[in-house]
């Protein structure tokens, strides 16, 4: 066992003395040392309950004959950090989480790890660490929030953001805003729609790194406590069998995850995180592959913000395994892959039926024959950009209109809220990419303002930043190359006609080659917005959105 290097032999007597100081017994040090990475904190609603999950994991580890050792990981709440400087730090924390977890795991010679994440960058950050460290590892998330209720209907965080837009447009009163405020987020857990946190927790399950229900069992259900105990027990088996993350997170496993991504209609952030995790696992996962998977994978679910169903509904309908089984009817899932259960995908999903064809459409009756995410290319995004196709109104799948150009999110929001954006416009927000932001902020405030003003079916938004999983509409992000490195999005001018065809995966602005080169010759790099601290280091090392915004020395 790896822990022998700190627990066995005369040379390790000093190490054991320090374990003695921690209160560990000889009996405990003769068992596998299992690190439990706790992301619990008191600022993220999806993380406030993780102490209970961690306690359950500890019990499970001890029941199975291991010694549990808890250490922390940070997490940022994207909703609370939204719309101000805090959002610059959100994506950047993914690397901090991966790096710090790697440091703790390697420094203390754990035999195995149980990752306990829940929200947004915390999940991919820990997946990246798992692949990088590559010792036996299993995930158990904190689970999704229950949907809120308002006037007899379910509601959620995306409705809350859109209510602010509706108020600014004079469509609802301040009292109605307060009603949403008190109804949208009723319990602990990751916000209740198919947003980034729930997307990544479901994809963790699809990758084979989490047990059945990891992505969908609500946070407040006792079933999740039982799941955590089983995860604690299972890690000891993984250690005994020496089953490692790279044995599970193979190229075929990522193909399965992409297929589930398309079927569920996950957040576009998955197109940043899956490539980043794959990179750590030694698998190349470019966005061309994503489009190929999307072309043959039907979209079976329309959870919020694409529709009016929620994570609790998906769980009741059979969860991720039921979706995998549905796709497997047409051979779209690779079933012979090893998973954290010690069994294959096929063994895991056997008998997991779809219990509600309204929540999970049958393979014969999908929402669309193609997946929920599309990757677009054209002269506006030569390397690529991404859109959540399943959350775009039919009338916006093809759109042409004049560019309304803004060099930061705040300027765009001011223009939207003051009524300067009208039907037909294409809002362009640039210098918000991984380097330019820095940190690639989410644009939930401007997209919610557009929808709240009733323009969701007539205005598109394009950015080198990214979007919250709660975003809906023709919101096209991750434009690469980004403006800060001289990408063509930096050369778009007010009034340029932009043509978007999501069906054909194209995005262009109307310009001659001569004019484009003229603008390029006149373009000058901008001074960095932040010149010190972590974000300055991050901006110096981060790659483009189409490469997963990974860091590169």
SS (H, E, C) 46-73: CCCCHHHHHHHHHHHHHHCCCEEEEEEC
| Residues with a known catalytic role | 468
pLDDT score recorded for residue 553: 80
DSSP symbols for 478-515: EEES-GGGT-GGGG--TT-EEEEETTTTEEEE---HHH
Per-residue pLDDT, 288: 87
What is the C-alpha to C-alpha distance for residues 512 and 333, in angstroms, rounded to an integer? 44
Residue 252 vs residues 132, 334, 336, 399: alpha-carbon distances, Å: 18, 7, 10, 35
Give this prediction's pTM.
0.97
Alpha carbon distance 7, 14 (integer Å): 9
CA pair distance 546, 332, nearest whole angstrom: 25
Taking only the tens of pLDDT, the chain with its 553 residues reads: 999 999 999 999 999 999 999 999 999 999 999 999 999 999 999 999 999 999 999 999 999 999 999 999 999 999 999 989 999 999 999 999 999 999 999 999 999 999 999 999 999 999 999 999 999 999 999 999 999 999 999 999 999 999 999 999 999 999 999 999 999 999 999 999 999 999 999 999 999 999 999 999 999 999 999 999 999 999 999 999 999 999 999 999 999 999 999 999 999 999 999 999 999 999 999 888 999 999 999 999 999 999 999 999 999 999 999 999 999 999 999 999 999 999 999 999 999 999 999 999 999 999 999 999 999 999 999 999 999 999 999 999 999 999 999 999 999 999 999 999 999 999 999 999 999 999 999 999 999 999 999 999 999 999 999 999 889 999 999 999 999 999 999 999 999 999 999 999 999 999 999 999 999 999 999 999 999 999 999 999 999 999 999 999 8
User: Phi, psi at residue 368, to the nearest 5°?
Assistant: -155, 160
d(CA 214, CA 263): 17
Q: Are 455 and 421 in contact (CB under 8 A)?
A: yes
* Residue 395 CB partners (closer than 8 Å, separation 6+): 457, 458
Q: Rounded distance, CA 484 to CA 390, Å?
A: 30
CA–CA distance, 412 with 391 (Å, rounded to integer) = 21
Contacts of residue 104, defined as CB under 8 A and 6 or more positions apart, other chains included, come to 35, 37, 71
Cβ neighbours of residue 326 closer than 8 Å, sequence gap 6 or more = 263, 300, 354, 360, 362, 363
Q: Collapsing DSSP states into helix, strand and coil, what is residue 145?
A: coil
Nearest to 388 by CA among 295, 327, 306: 306
**Are 232 and 64 a contacting pair, CB within 8 Å?**
yes
pLDDT of residue 469: 87
Q: Give CA separation, 46 vs 53, 80, 214, in Å.
A: 12, 12, 14
Q: Tokens 């009292």 belong to which residue?
A: 175
Q: 141: helix, coil or strand?
A: coil
């Amino acid at each position: 066992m790896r822990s022998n290097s700190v627990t066995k032999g005369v040379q390790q007597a000093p190490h054991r003395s320090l374990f003695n100081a921690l209160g560990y017994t000889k009996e405990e040090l003769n068992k596998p040392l299992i690190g439990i990475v706790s992301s619990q904190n008191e600022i993220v609603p999806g993380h406030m309950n993780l102490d209970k999950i961690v306690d359950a994991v500890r019990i499970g580890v001890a029941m199975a004959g291991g010694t549990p050792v808890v250490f922390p990981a940070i997490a940022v709440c994207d909703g609370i950090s939204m719309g101000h400087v805090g959002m610059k730090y959100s994506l950047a924390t993914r690397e901090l989480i991966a790096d710090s977890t790697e440091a703790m795991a390697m420094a203390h010679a754990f035999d195995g790890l149980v990752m306990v994440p829940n929200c947004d960058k915390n999940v991919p950050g820990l997946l990246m660490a798992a692949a990088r460290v590559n010792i036996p590892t299993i995930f158990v998330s904190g689970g999704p929030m229950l949907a809120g209720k308002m006037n007899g209907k379910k509601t959620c965080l995306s409705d809350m953001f859109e209510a602010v837009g509706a108020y600014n447009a004079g469509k609802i009163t301040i009292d109605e805003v307060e009603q949403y405020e008190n109804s949208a987020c009723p319990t602990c857990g990751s916000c209740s729609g198919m947003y980034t946190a729930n997307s990544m927790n479901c994809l963790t399950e699809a990758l084979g790194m989490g047990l059945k229900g990891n992505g969908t069992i609500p946070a407040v259900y006792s079933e999740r406590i039982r799941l955590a105990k089983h995860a604690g027990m299972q890690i000891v088996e993984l250690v005994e069998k020496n089953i490692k993350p790279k044995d599970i997170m193979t190229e075929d496993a990522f193909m399965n995850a992409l297929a589930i991504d398309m079927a569920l209609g996950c957040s576009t952030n998955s197109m940043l995180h899956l490539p980043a995790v794959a990179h750590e696992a030694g698998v190349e996962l470019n966005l061309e592959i994503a489009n190929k998977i999307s072309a043959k994978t039907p979209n079976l679910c329309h959870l919020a913000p694409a529709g009016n169903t929620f994570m609790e509904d998906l769980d009741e309908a059979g969860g991720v395994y039921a979706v995998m089984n549905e796709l497997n009817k047409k051979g779209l899932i690779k079933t012979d892959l090893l998973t954290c259960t010690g069994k294959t995908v096929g063994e895991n999903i056997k008998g997991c039926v779809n219990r509600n064809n309204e929540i999970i459409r049958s393979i014969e009756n999908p929402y669309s024959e193609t997946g929920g995410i599309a990757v677009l290319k054209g002269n506006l995004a030569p390397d690529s950009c991404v859109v959540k196709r399943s959350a775009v109104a039919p009338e916006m799948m093809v759109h042409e209109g004049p560019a309304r150009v803004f060099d930061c999110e705040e300027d765009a929001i001011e223009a939207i809220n003051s009524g300067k954006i009208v039907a037909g416009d294409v809002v362009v927000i640039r210098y918000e990419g991984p380097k330019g932001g820095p940190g690639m902020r989410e644009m939930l405030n401007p997209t919610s303002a557009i929808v709240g003003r009733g323009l969701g079916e007539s205005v598109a938004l394009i950015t080198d930043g990214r979007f919250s999983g709660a975003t809906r509409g023709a919101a096209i992000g991750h434009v690469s190359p980004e403006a800060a490195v001289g990408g063509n999005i930096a050369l778009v001018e007010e009034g340029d006609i932009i043509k978007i065809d999501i069906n054909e995966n194209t995005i262009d602005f109307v310009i001659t080659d001569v004019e484009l080169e003229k603008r390029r010759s006149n373009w000058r790099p901008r001074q960095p917005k932040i010149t010190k601290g972590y974000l300055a280091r991050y901006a110096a090392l981060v790659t483009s959105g189409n490469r997963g915004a990974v860091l590169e020395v």
